[in-house]
């Protein structure tokens, strides 16, 4: 794992965006796995700012959504769908046939996860996976537990995830989510992990210790040979 420190959020976001643009230059039809939340927000803004519509820069790029809450409806405020469409999919003109996403309108979440597993198999591998570090060390909705699910699955959300800023103000907080599994993430050709925000010091220390444990899912990134870990040093 290559660990890089930045003096502020903007510098980290710019560096992350440069990695995405470089990867896109090497493979214009790359498959990008997109996380949501505060950590990658600046990176996505930078991609939009540096986009070149006249060159159809993102005309072939594909995007797969990392995870989604269950029970918030389709594209409503607080959903990962709304976040990605607002900050990445629509601004970069990613067409529907190049966007792979969990469908929150499917009344059968396990069936939806099976569908997404097949979609990923038909489009794999993920070329570049953007991740944020959860306050309890989670990646996506791969929560600390005694056993990590390898592929797309329904996850019971931890109290920490239920307090996430995207849903903290919602009266009926989601109890479950859908997410890519750890094997799906680790099969990515390159991973960029962004670490910023308050309340993550303990999870960051556990990750940087190098000790691999299911109680800190992010620690499994040490098993991958091409990870850039970008940290705002404050």
Q: So which residues are the catalytic ones?
A: 67, 136, 138, 143
**Which tokens is 189 given?**
């050709």
- 149 with 178: CB under 8 angstroms? no
Token readout for 141 is 């909705």
Q: How far apart are CA 218 and CA 149, in angstroms?
A: 13
DSSP 60-116: S-EEEE-EEESSS-SS-TTSHHHHHIIIIITTTT--GGGEE---TT-S-HHHHHHHH
Measured CA to CA, the distance from residue 10 to residue 79 in angstroms comes to 24
């Amino acid at each position: 794992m290559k660990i890089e420190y930045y003096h502020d959020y903007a510098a980290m976001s710019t560096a992350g965006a440069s990695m995405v643009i470089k990867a896109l230059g090497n493979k214009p039809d790359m498959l990008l796995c997109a996380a949501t939340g505060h950590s990658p927000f600046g990176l996505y803004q930078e991609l939009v700012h540096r986009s070149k519509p006249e060159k159809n820069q993102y005309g072939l790029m594909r995007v797969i959504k990392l995870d989604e809450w269950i029970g918030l409806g389709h594209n409503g405020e607080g959903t990962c769908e709304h976040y990605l469409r607002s900050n990445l999919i629509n601004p970069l003109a990613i067409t529907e046939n190049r966007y792979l996403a969990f469908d929150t309108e499917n009344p059968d979440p396990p069936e939806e996860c099976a569908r997404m597993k097949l979609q990923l198999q038909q489009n794999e591998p993920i070329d570049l996976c953007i991740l944020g570090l959860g306050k309890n060390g989670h990646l996506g909705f791969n929560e600390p537990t005694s056993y990590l699910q390898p592929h797309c699955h329904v996850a019971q959300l931890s109290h920490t995830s239920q307090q996430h800023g995207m849903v903290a103000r919602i009266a009926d907080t989601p109890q479950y989510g859908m997410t890519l599994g750890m094997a799906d993430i680790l099969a990515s050709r390159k991973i960029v992990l962004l670490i910023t925000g308050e309340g993550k010091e303990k999870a960051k220390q556990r990750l940087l210790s190098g000790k691999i444990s299911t109680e800190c899912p992010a620690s499994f990134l040490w098993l991958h040979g091409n990870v850039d870990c970008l940290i705002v040093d404050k």
